[in-house]
Structure 1
């Protein structure tokens, strides 16, 4: 029973709400807003339990339920924050990502002007940038525009 109690305390201690543990991966609300939204809804994944038997069995069932709920809530928070444009940073890199966002640097890995998700979103934005520069006479941008245009048309999109 003490092993299960220790595992529960360890698992609950792993849940973090510190922005330094996360990095921005796309567009969405600030970390504080995203975290608050996820935090308000994480209880919806909790499961109840019914246990009949000896006091030790009932206590063990309650502890098991609490442990299962803590795991489900942690998974919910992780997935909910990803949907909001945040993910857990690799160990030791969260603080650098948070300071970059605080200084106005583009979020990793997409950049401020780049939409997360499909390569098509980024290719369309890059094509648009190259098209503007090509119109101003930049020959390298004209080549980039032609290359991206071919890729986009092959994927079924007409960039013009």
Structure 2
């Protein structure tokens, strides 16, 4: 970033101080924790996905050149900082979606986070199952039924058998991983 300012030193110091005071509250705005997000797909844990995205978000920042009065230079700096914050926020949103996480609708993220803390991972894709054909949903349901059957649930064993027959008829042979 290159800043050129033409003006008196006293004005510049005062304007830079005002710019820093204006930007300081914005520096703490970006907070992200798992309570703000819900799992929408398979991928790394939230902490891993967030760390990977956080390391790369600076790549969207734009520099600027400002020539003029100290007020103009300070205004250009503030405008650039706000633009960079918006670009970084959008990058984090898209990066986390690619990693299988999205911002939760108001009030739903805490429930997903408490489920993870209790040892029960949230249902992938939120309330809905995997997008696409019925086979995706049947495979996920078969996997859930298989896990419950192995744990001793007799009703889940029957569900697993029915889903297995439907999947094999479609040419898919489900097997535990």
1:119 to 103, 120, 133: 133
Distance (Å, rounded) in 2 between the aligned partners of 1:127 and 1:92: 27
**In the TM superposition, what are the counterparts of 1:81-100 in structure 2 within 5 Å?**
81-100=96-115
- Cα drift, residue 65 of structure 1: 0.3
Question: SS in structure 2 opposite 1:40?
Answer: helix
Displacement of 1:15 in angstroms is 2.0
> Hey, what does 2:60 align to over in structure 1?
45
1:59 aligns with 2:80: no
Which runs of 5 or more structure 1 residues have no equivalent in the other structure? Answer: none
Provide structure 2 residue ranges, at least 5 long, that are not aligned to the other structure.
1-14, 147-156
CA contact (8 A) 1:25 1:109 kept: yes
**What number of residue pairs does the alignment pair up?**
141
CA distance in 2, matches of 1:77, 1:67: 15
In 2: Cα distance, 1:93 partner to 1:137 partner: 32
Question: TM-score normalised to the size of structure 2?
Answer: 0.62
**Could you report, residue by residue, the CA deviation over 1:112-160 in whole angstroms, capped at 9, with x for unpaired residues?**
xx9844336514616977xx9xxx988x937x828x96xxx7xxxx546
In the alignment, which residue of structure 2 is the partner of 1:145?
166
Match of 1:27 in 2: 42
Distance apart, 1:34 and its partner CA: 0.7
**Higher radius of gyration, 1 or 2:** 2
2:119 is the alignment partner of 1:104:
yes
Deviation at 1:9, TM superposition (A): 5.9
The corresponding residue for 2:51 is: 36
Moved more, 58-67 or 93-102: 93-102
Q: Partners of 1:67 and 1:103 in 2: how far apart?
A: 38
User: Cα offset for 1:71?
Assistant: 0.4
CA RMSD of aligned residues (A): 3.7
The TM-score with structure 1 as length reference comes to 0.68
